[in-house]
Structure 1
Amino acid sequence: MEEVKTVNKESQSPLSFLKNLLIARWRSLLFLLIGVYLPLQVFEILTVKLWENQAGLPWDVPILLAIHSTANPQLDVLAVTLAIVGLPWTAIPILGAIALILLLQKRWRSLAYLLTASVGSVIINRTAKELMHRVRPQLWQSIVPEYSFAFPSGHAMTSITLVAILLFLTWASSWRWLVLMFGSLYIIAIAWCRLYLGVHFPSDILAGWMVALGWTVGVSLIIKPYITQVKTVDDERPEDETTLLPEERKLIAEE
């Protein structure tokens, strides 16, 4: 009885309700701030700066020249190989295989996340390139020249999107640490090869990272692919990913 009175009292106090809500949701809010807002804010700043000055940012050329000064035949082979590995087209069979596994395992929520995150990333990249029309660096003759627009980097976006998808799909298991470690190395390696080959400015890479991170994290907050088991309202039996959450059913009913 005393507990009911306390709950009723709190429900009548806006400050108490707000405090309890923030305490209960602080992790989600922090995740939203770091994973969505900050990356998209950085992307916006880069976009505005490049729109005002197509020549690039002050640190673009010095970083490219510093990386180019390390060029040698062995690194040439490594960079070209990484460029092929990091191609958006290379990610398609990988994501296709994962999608098939998720389909067979009836992990439909995770499958929905994979498809939404990957297809959306491609659309964002194509749209941004056409809007910005930023040309590739012309500081030296690249051994693997590119002729499409540069901003944001498709390789950078593909690497972040692929690693983010794998990370969220393994979030409930110990595999996530392995994915995080090797995924980080993969992301850095792909970025290095694009700069080494002279086909992207550093700001192209950073923009690709930021917009892809904001997109994949934002989609995860909506679709929640890391939920592998959900309990029903009466807590009697667990439901797999083929079942909508109660709030999702309510939204559909309201349409």
Structure 2
Amino acid sequence: MFPHSRREFLPFLRSHWRSLLLVLLGVLIPFGLFAHLTHEVFREGGFSWDQGVLDWYAQRRTPALTQAAETLATLGGVMVLPFVTALLAWLLARVGGASGRAHGWFLVSGVAGATLLNVAAKVVFQRPRPDELLAVLSEPGFSFPSGHAMANAAFGFALTLVFWRSRAGWPVAVFGLLWALAVGASRNYLGVHYPSDVLAGFTASVAWVAGLYMVMARRWPQLRGSPAGPRDTR
């Protein structure tokens, strides 16, 4: 697969640069950032700005913002997000045929896999949540990485990859990014996660979804096209 000489390297680079860029930006860099965050939190005692950011949010709480943050927590939580993901996957399969089914399975696998990885990570790291006295909500379980941030970043990134080669590519990408950022910020606003928990969730999900995409695309080449088939490509 990889070139064995300098003469073969440039043609290989020209034909595989998109995959190599996805590996670098989608897997290696995010995973490296996740490893750095993990090291700083559990070997060096965390980040000084973690509590400072939580205090900044706490000083700016209003009833309207709190209601909005709680709504985001509900929509991005286990009571809503899995059903939205399943519904979108079903619609993709119904409208797009074989291509839609491949994209639907990728979307479900991306979100479900990120959720399972988050559960495993919390069991391994067992970081306590921030001080409950400063939190709006009291939630059980551990803090690192943020499950909401991880699941919704996986949802937004997977949805972007699903629609990237369709006419909806850029709008979906912007929505996915803003949705993940909004849910992540809401977890800090509510005081139930440190900012480093949210950043770790983001980086872990990007690495997971990008890696999953490359693996599944080798089995289902339809993933590299539009979910509606070639008629919808740009």
Check the 8 A contact 1:171/1:226 in 2, yes or no.
Answer: no
The one-letter code of the counterpart of 1:23 is R
* Partner-residue secondary structure (3-state), 1:222: helix
The C-alpha deviation readout for 1:117-166, integer Å capped at 9, x for no partner, is 12211111000000000011006342221121010001101111111221
Tell me which moved more, 201-210 or 62-71.
Answer: 62-71
Matches within 5 A, 1:21-100: 21-53=12-44, 55-100=45-90
Matches within 5 A, 1:173-188: 173-188=166-181
Greater percentage in helix: 2
Q: 1:89 to 1:143 in 2, by over 3 A?
A: same
Q: Distance in 2 between matches of 1:56 and 1:88?
A: 28
* Partner-residue secondary structure (3-state), 2:22: helix
Q: Distance in 2 between matches of 1:70 and 1:192?
A: 13
TM-score of the pair, normalised by structure 1? 0.79
Q: What residue in structure 2 maps to residue 109 of structure 1?
A: 102
The C-alpha deviation readout for 1:196-221, integer Å capped at 9, x for no partner, is 11000000000000000100011111
Q: CA deviation at 1:169?
A: 1.4
The one-letter code of the counterpart of 2:39 is V
TM-score of the pair, normalised by structure 2? 0.86
Q: Distance in 2 between matches of 1:192 and 1:122?
A: 19
The one-letter code of the counterpart of 1:182 is F
The one-letter code of the counterpart of 1:172 is R
Tell me which moved more, 106-115 or 158-167.
Answer: 106-115
The one-letter code of the counterpart of 1:140 is L
**Greater than 3 Å deviation, 4+ residue runs:** none
The one-letter code of the counterpart of 2:165 is A
Q: Distance in 2 between matches of 1:75 and 1:228?
A: 40
Q: What residue in structure 1 maps to residue 193 of structure 2?
A: 200
Matches within 5 A, 1:101-250: 101-104=91-94, 105-106=97-98, 107-138=100-131, 140-224=133-217, 226-228=223-225
Tell me which moved more, 127-136 or 82-91.
Answer: 82-91
Where structure 1 has 5 or more consecutive residues not aligned to the other structure, the ranges are 1-12, 230-237, 240-255
Q: Distance in 2 between matches of 1:20 and 1:114?
A: 33
Where structure 2 has 5 or more consecutive residues not aligned to the other structure, the ranges are none
Root-mean-square deviation (CA), in Å?
A: 2.0
**Count of aligned residue pairs for this structure pair:** 218
Q: Distance in 2 between matches of 1:176 and 1:66?
A: 35
Question: Which structure has the bigger radius of gyration?
Answer: 1
Q: Percent identity?
A: 30
1:20 paired to 2:39: no
Q: Distance in 1 between matches of 2:148 and 2:48?
A: 23
